[in-house]
Amino acid sequence: MQFETRAIHVGQDPDPRTGAVVVPIYQTSTFAQHGVGEHSGYEYARTGNPTRTALQQCLASLEGTEQAVCFASGMAAEDAILRLLSPGDHVIMANDVYGGTWRLVDKVYKRYGIDVSAVDLTDLDAVATAFRPSTRYVWAETPSNPLLKVLDLPALAEVAHDRDAWLVADNTFATPYLQRPTEFGADLVVHSTTKYIGGHSDVVGGAVCTDAKTADDLAFLQNAVGAVPGPFDSWLTLRGVKTLGVRMDRHCENATLIAGYLAGHEAVEEVFYPGLVDHPGHDIAARQMSAFGGMISFRVAGGADAARRVAERTELFFLAESLGGVESLIEHPGIMTHASVAGTALEVPDDLLRISVGIESADDLLADLDRALEG
Ligand SMILES: *Cc1c(COP(=O)(O)O)cnc(C)c1O
């Protein structure tokens, strides 16, 4: 079965009792047992819930992994991956990962004796040099946020595997429709399903897609710790993922038009979009992604104040954090999503804007940007 068919069918057979064609929201905390210790696969809803199971089966199929484990948020999914480690272990992390990812290791896991090095993962020599005997993970995110840097997944997998470490790939920006990191050697794929997979900006969730043994270990941790997604959240995410393919096609189509438009606009200094042939990661992106995604960043001529005015002047592009929904969003990373990296090597230009291109009519989106940039 092809991707679009699996998104709609895997884990989603009609309900055996009623024939309902949509997986029900099993809004229950416990499951009656036939006899003492004899049950139909479900006992207590922290451990498992059929709506969550359906979502997990579907996501595993889309990422091409044996299993998926879904969590209450993307951060809860990342937390579970880090809980597989022990004090003394070391992680090599892309130096421009999602801010919350960095905060989790730097501010939380360091206190438990797990060390982390921030490394430019586009520099494979730097990655090799950063390795220690205790290194367990290379943690990649591609394309990255907000500068859309592209990482070479097969090369990183090789460096990691040569040294008995695992490659973790945050695939939130690309989604499994455009890029499946395990095909390039990644051992664990993590998602904030809040973004493109949910796709409608109405639910927070996370997932890890991996082999059966690692998924069991993660499920054990999840049951012990408790960061489970509720049945309604699982259902909303499952409803969203059915249309992932058609949505991504439109996100990519609109973003390609808008990136080209911005690149030719005199009020724009520089555009960051992996689909542009002069983007430094274009060739790698073309090898490991089937299209270039819906996220674009650009620098506005005239500096920070000019950028701020553009962000405040768009009408269809809502001024908001987050990404990956059907509606277009614009934000100023220096002041909004990336304020915490100000003054560090990761500081982003203060004239930078990031847009999450939605699936509205491209004509309307272009007209909105045109108005905002002319003003
Ligand atoms: C949003 C995001 C996360 C965190 O996910 P939540 O669902 O907000 O907890 C992790 N990685 C990336 C790339 C993200 O965009």
CA distances to 115, 201, 298, 330 from 320, rounded to whole Å, are 33, 11, 16, 6
Domain containing 305 — which CATH number? Answer: 3.90.1150.10
Chain centroid to CA 262: how far? Answer: 25
Question: Does any ligand 1 atom lie closer than 6 A to the CB of residue 196?
Answer: no
Atom of ligand 1 at shortest range from CA of 324: 15
Same-domain status, 347 and 230 = no
Q: Which of 186, 210, 241 is at the close of a domain?
A: 241
- Report how many domains make up the chain: 2
Same-domain status, 78 and 226 = yes
Same-domain status, 200 and 225 = yes
Q: Which pTM does this prediction carry? A: 0.97
Place of tokens 């892309």: 94
Write the secondary structure of 187-240 as one string of H (helix), E (strand) and C (coil).
CEEEEECCCCCCCCCCCCCEEEEECHHHHHHHHHHHHHHCCCCCHHHHHHHHHH
Question: Does any ligand 1 atom lie closer than 6 A to the CB of residue 65?
Answer: no
Same-domain status, 164 and 194 = yes
Catalytic residue among 136, 195, 247, 250: 195
Atom of ligand 1 at shortest range from CA of 205: 7
| Catalytic-residue membership of 195 | yes
Amino acid at 66: E
Helix axes 244-263, 362-374, angle to 10 degrees: 30
Catalytic residue among 26, 98, 109, 273: 98
Question: Does any ligand 1 atom lie closer than 6 A to the CB of residue 351?
Answer: no
| Catalytic-residue membership of 46 | yes
Q: What pLDDT was estimated at residue 358?
A: 98
Amino acid at 49: N
Same-domain status, 332 and 348 = yes
Rounded-to-integer distance, Cα 144 and Cα 253, Å: 20
Distance 99 CA to ligand 1 centre (A): 9
Same-domain status, 224 and 314 = no
Question: Does any ligand 1 atom lie closer than 6 A to the CB of residue 195?
Answer: yes
Same-domain status, 88 and 206 = yes
Q: Which of 241, 268, 295 is at the close of a domain?
A: 241
Same-domain status, 204 and 313 = no
Using a 10 angstrom Cβ sphere, with 0-12 exposed, 13-18 middle and 19 or more buried, the burial of residue 164 is exposed
179: helix, strand or coil: coil
> In which domain, by residue range, is 257 found?
244-373
CB 35 within 8 A of CB 60: no
Tokens of residue 253, six digits: 């189509």
Atom of ligand 1 at shortest range from CA of 75: 9
Strands 135-141 and 166-170: parallel
Same-domain status, 100 and 144 = yes
Rounded-to-integer distance, Cα 243 and Cα 47, Å: 28
CA distances to 78, 194, 204, 208 from 172, rounded to whole Å, are 12, 9, 13, 11
Same-domain status, 11 and 64 = yes
Q: DSSP strand E in the chain: where?
A: 67-71, 90-94, 115-119, 135-141, 166-170, 188-192, 206-210, 268-272, 295-300, 318-319, 329-331, 352-356
Q: List the one residue out of 240, 239, 276 whose CA is nearest residue 255.
A: 276
Same-domain status, 218 and 276 = no
Same-domain status, 266 and 135 = no
| Catalytic-residue membership of 15 | no
Residue whose CA is closest, atom 4 of ligand 1? Answer: 74
Domain containing 168 — which CATH number? Answer: 3.40.640.10
Consecutive sets of 10 residues in the chain, 375 residues long: mean pLDDT of each? 98 96 98 93 97 98 98 98 98 93 95 97 98 98 96 98 98 98 98 98 98 98 98 98 98 98 97 97 98 98 96 97 97 89 82 98 98 91
Q: Which of 183, 208, 241 is at the close of a domain?
A: 241
